[in-house]
Amino acid sequence: MNSKTKYLFLILGITGIVLLVFNSVKMWNWSNIKLELEISQILFIISLISFGFYFILKKKRKFLTRIIIGTFGICLVLNLYLVTEYYQALQTQKRFSEYSKLETCEEMENRFATDLKKGEIKYFQFGFGYDIELDKTLKNKYKIETFGMGCSIQSEMICYNKMVNDYLKEKHNDGIIDYWE
């Protein structure tokens, strides 16, 4: 094994282990990424098994080297993707926490004015199910970020939603929120 291959194995292995452990600990219960995490773990195990066979099967070293680099590489790419998903979820949670601290309709009105100036309008969906179509429409057509609130209705956020609805009616002549509610 030449030194370039050793260093490549070492870098891929260490990076893969660190990201795999991080993702496994932080995101194991996330149902939307469970498949990617499990595939990543399986590829990592295949890499380790192939690495063990590398020292036993001297005639198959070129083939095993390709398997190790390929599986470690795919494992690394999957784990990098999962880290970005985790980071995006943290950012969304951080943005939402800013709104959950506001307790009155007046505070929400001030926040809506600030959001409108920045072009960062939000919409809070209440109810049993999260409406994906409304989320897509608001995001793609109006650049409005949507938060699923579940069944816990909060009057100050309804106040914010009414301002969003009024804004869409005035500015874009669209009562889409009335239609979905």
Q: Could you state, in order of their start, the residue ranges of all structural domains in the chain? A: 3-93, 102-180
**Cα(91)–Cα(105) distance, rounded to whole angstroms?**
24
What are the residues facing 145 on neighbouring strands? 122
**Cα(30)–Cα(6) distance, rounded to whole angstroms?**
35
Q: What is the pLDDT of residue 8?
A: 75
Strands in 78-154 per DSSP E: 122-125, 145-148
Task: Provide the pairing of β-strand 122-125 with 145-148.
Answer: parallel
Q: What are the tokens at 135?
A: 């989320």
| Cα–Cα nearest to 82, from 146, 35, 33, 21 | 33
User: What average pLDDT does range 56-76 have in this prediction?
Assistant: 86
pTM for this model (two decimals): 0.62
Q: What is the mean pLDDT of the chain?
A: 81
What are the residues facing 147 on neighbouring strands? 124
User: What average pLDDT does range 124-134 have in this prediction?
Assistant: 76
51: left (phi over 0), alpha (psi -120 to 50) or beta: alpha
Q: What are the tokens at 103?
A: 């307790």
Reported as a single tens digit per residue, the pLDDT across 96-112 is 778 778 888 888 888 88
Vertex 154 angle, CA 94 and 135, to 5°: 60
Q: What is the pLDDT of residue 181?
A: 53
CB neighbourhood size of 67 (10 A): 18
Q: What is the pLDDT of residue 30?
A: 66
